Amino acid sequence: MTPQELAHALAQILNDIIAARGDDAAQEIVATEADTAVERPRNREHGDWASNAAMKFAKRLGLNPRDLATDIAARAAEIEGVATADVAGPGFINITLDAASAGETARRVVEQGENYGRSDTLAGQNINLEFVSANPTGPLHMGHTRWAALGDSTARVLRAAGAKVTSEYYINDAGAQMEKFGRSVLAAALGEPAPEDAYPGAYVQELGRQIREQIPNLPEIAQQDRAAALEQAQELGYALQLAEIKDSLERFNVHFDVYFSERTLHAPGANGGLSPIAAAVDRLREQGHVYEEDGAIWVRTTDFGDDKDRVFTRGNGIYTYFAADAAYYLSKKDRGFGEKIYLLGADHHGYIGRLTAIAGAAGDDTEKDISVLIGQLVNLNGAKLSKRAGNIIELNDLLEWLGSDALRYWLARYPADSPLALDGEKVRSRSNDNPVFYVQYAHARTCAVDRNAEAAGVDRSVFVPELLTHETETEMLGKLQQYPGIVAGAAELREPHRIARFLEELAASYHRWYDNCRVIPLGDAPVEDLHRTRLWLNDAAGQVLRNGLDLLGVSAPERL
């Protein structure tokens, strides 16, 4: 029995008690699973699960909390799989499952495999999740790593909870930064001195070398038509740099469903119609939030909590960055996404108001249809500046130094809004002080137990769950029961760090169990049903460790 199933049963009991009272006021009260959620008591002598539902509802029903708890407990004791249900203190209900019911969790996990922990909690939600979105004018650096790890893990967790998620990278491939990039790589390709405002770093020279190699007649083109040479160099440099960004992300085990080009917002519509960015102002005007002043077109974003109205088009007819943001938001809306989630860097706090205002001006519910999550920067001791880029720490260098697994796990185990300072040597260490190693080692141990069990003739041909009575087995079964709720909660709160922290607790439970309970008989002792049943528990722990690591984009090695 999972905590969710127990909470459901308690909610039914409470609703039956409410219905039996027959008073009109009580009939308006309905208990849900959220109201009757159970928790692991700190003191295991108090049972497997505890609920404070009686104290939540007693006053509303005009009852003494302990009396209500006694009534609920008496009925809960009759639930199949419940051994005892007792009342403690002012009205806590402590529930102990019978060993067979608790042990059945191991079979359920093994049989459900990679689907264990997945649910339909967020079924029907079509979510667009945008993250990283670095300019394609240079390599990804340490400032992008946290958003990449958190964004991809968030997408995985949301999908595990039943949501349909499209992960999206917005390519800022229009505007002044691209023109600056073009001038930089053209000069490098032609062997000319770098422009005064050029992008720094040896990577620009490397792009220049590749451009010259692929367009050998570029000097002649430049002599005849500098603008044409600039366009060709810029486009090829852009393609090469974007390809490198995508490769870096794949090496980091980060996958995007869509790479959305900003240029498409400026391109004419079908049959020569308005571009999306030009059409956006008309659509916002229809909603009644557009006005003109001093030759500029404004959107009245203060109607939706923004600190000031935003300029859409200046008097010179040039579109602002806000205009592109608005058109991009409308594009997401047109593609059928309900909630639009933006994961932005620490320097983007100002975007919260303007993006929320765009959603409101577009007619969306600003409480449900848009979420702007701001992450804090990460500081990594021991990291060295890139030899190629010079002034940054490249993601590629971090991957070479630390590896994808360690970097992703450490970045995912903290809330996005907490500043993060990491010790590079600890991140890459192979010791129990390193949580990623500790969790992966637990998984590798489950695999070693499997190999040794097979050699010793222990298999899963028998499963007798009531034999799993050792205190470490009870503890680990409780952890396994919690996993589906942990995943659902992480998805609803957009907090993948909850998965990492749970895995560390499960790994600790597994290591304690491993030290106390044998799967393989000692010496020449015969294989018994207890050994076979414990193999189920071992494999269940390995499966949940594997499932959780996958949600973080981290591998589950069979050997370490």
Q: Which of 352, 374, 396 is the last residue of a domain?
A: 374
Residue 351, domain member (yes or no): yes
Q: Is there a single domain that holds both residue 162 and residue 195? A: no
Among candidates 153, 84, 96, 162, which has minimal Cα distance to 126? 162
- Rg of the chain on CA atoms, in Å: 29
Q: Is there a single domain that holds both residue 543 and residue 436? A: yes
pLDDT of residue 29: 84
Q: Is there a single domain that holds both residue 263 and residue 347? A: yes
Residue 535, number of CB atoms within 10 A of its CB: 26
- Coil, helix or strand at residue 312: strand
Q: Which residue bears the tokens 């190699």?
A: 213
Among candidates 44, 92, 47, 46, which has minimal Cα distance to 66? 92
Q: Is there a single domain that holds both residue 200 and residue 278? A: no
Q: Is there a single domain that holds both residue 484 and residue 508? A: yes
Q: Which of 342, 359, 374 is the last residue of a domain?
A: 374
Q: In this structure, is the dihedral angle defined by the CA atoms of residues 126, 489, 372 and 345, taken in order, positive or negative?
A: negative
Residue 289, domain member (yes or no): yes
Task: In whole angstroms, give the CA distance from residue 526 to residue 515.
Answer: 20
The answer to whether 52 and 91 are in contact (CB under 8 A) is yes
CATH number at residue 47: 3.30.1360.70
Q: Which of 194, 220, 251 is the last residue of a domain?
A: 251
pLDDT of residue 413: 94
Q: Is there a single domain that holds both residue 455 and residue 510? A: yes
Among candidates 74, 52, 70, 61, which has minimal Cα distance to 21? 61
Task: In whole angstroms, give the CA distance from residue 195 to residue 183.
Answer: 7
Q: Across-strand partners of 97? A: 82
Q: Is there a single domain that holds both residue 80 and residue 54? A: yes
Residue 396, domain member (yes or no): no
Q: Across-strand partners of 167? A: 129
End-to-end CA distance of the chain: 34
Task: In whole angstroms, give the CA distance from residue 442 to residue 503.
Answer: 10
Residue 117, domain member (yes or no): no
* Residue 327, CB-side half-sphere exposure with 13 Å CA sphere: 27
Amino acid at 32: T
Q: Is there a single domain that holds both residue 506 and residue 539? A: yes
pLDDT of residue 44: 72
Domain that holds residue 226: 176-251
pLDDT of residue 26: 64
CATH number at residue 288: 3.40.50.620
Note the pTM of the prediction, 2 decimals.
Answer: 0.90
Q: How far is CA 187 from CA 195, 298, 308, 382, in A?
A: 7, 39, 41, 34
Burial of 381 (0-12, 13-18, 19+ CB in 10 A): exposed
pLDDT of residue 392: 85
The answer to whether 438 and 504 are in contact (CB under 8 A) is yes
Phi-psi bin for 134: left (phi > 0), alpha (psi -120 to 50), beta?
Answer: beta
The encoded tokens of residue 544 equal 């949940």
Q: Is there a single domain that holds both residue 204 and residue 300? A: no
The encoded tokens of residue 389 equal 């880029």
CATH number at residue 435: 1.10.730.10
Among candidates 162, 163, 201, which has minimal Cα distance to 185? 201
| Pairing mode of beta strands 370-374, 339-344 | parallel
Q: Is there a single domain that holds both residue 448 and residue 509? A: yes
Residue 118, domain member (yes or no): no
Residue 67, domain member (yes or no): yes
Beta strands in 142-253 (DSSP E): 164-171
Task: In whole angstroms, give the CA distance from residue 251 to residue 245.
Answer: 10
Among candidates 178, 324, 319, 314, which has minimal Cα distance to 265? 324
For every residue of 415-451, DSSP letters joined together read -TTS-EEEEHHHHT--STTSHHHHHHHHHHHHHHHHH
- For the chain, the helix, strand and coil percentages under 3-state DSSP, each to the nearest 5: 55, 10, 35
The answer to whether 516 and 470 are in contact (CB under 8 A) is yes
The encoded tokens of residue 545 equal 């460790």
Among candidates 547, 502, 480, which has minimal Cα distance to 156? 547
Task: In whole angstroms, give the CA distance from residue 101 to residue 81.
Answer: 5
Q: Is there a single domain that holds both residue 155 and residue 300? A: yes
Q: Which residue bears the tokens 């991009």?
A: 328
Burial of 293 (0-12, 13-18, 19+ CB in 10 A): exposed
Helices (H) and strands (E) in the chain, counts: 21, 13
pLDDT of residue 27: 66
The answer to whether 310 and 298 are in contact (CB under 8 A) is yes
| Pairing mode of beta strands 49-51, 339-344 | unpaired
The answer to whether 220 and 167 are in contact (CB under 8 A) is no
User: Based on the structure, what is the number of domains in the chain?
Assistant: 4
Residue 409, domain member (yes or no): no
pLDDT tens for each residue of the chain, 560 residues long:
788 889 999 999 999 998 887 776 666 788 898 899 999 887 777 888 999 999 999 988 889 999 999 999 999 999 988 999 999 999 999 999 988 888 999 999 999 999 999 999 999 999 999 999 999 999 999 989 999 999 999 999 999 999 999 999 999 999 999 999 999 999 999 999 999 999 988 999 999 999 999 999 999 999 999 999 999 999 999 999 999 999 999 999 999 999 999 999 999 987 778 999 999 999 999 989 999 998 899 999 999 988 899 999 987 888 999 999 999 999 999 999 999 999 998 778 888 999 999 999 999 999 999 999 988 888 899 888 777 777 789 999 999 999 999 999 999 999 988 888 999 999 999 999 999 999 999 999 999 999 999 999 999 999 999 999 999 999 999 999 999 999 999 999 999 999 999 999 999 999 999 999 999 999 999 999 999 999 999 999 999 999 999 999 999 999 99
Residue 104, domain member (yes or no): no
3-state secondary structure 222-261: HHHCHHHHHHHHHHHHHHHHHHHHHHHHHHCCCCCCEEEE
| Pairing mode of beta strands 290-293, 296-299 | antiparallel
| Pairing mode of beta strands 164-171, 258-261 | parallel
Q: Is there a single domain that holds both residue 220 and residue 185? A: yes
CA angle 395, 398, 403 (to 5 degrees): 115
pLDDT of residue 378: 86
CA 298 to chain centroid, in Å, comes to 36
Q: Which residue bears the tokens 């940054």?
A: 392
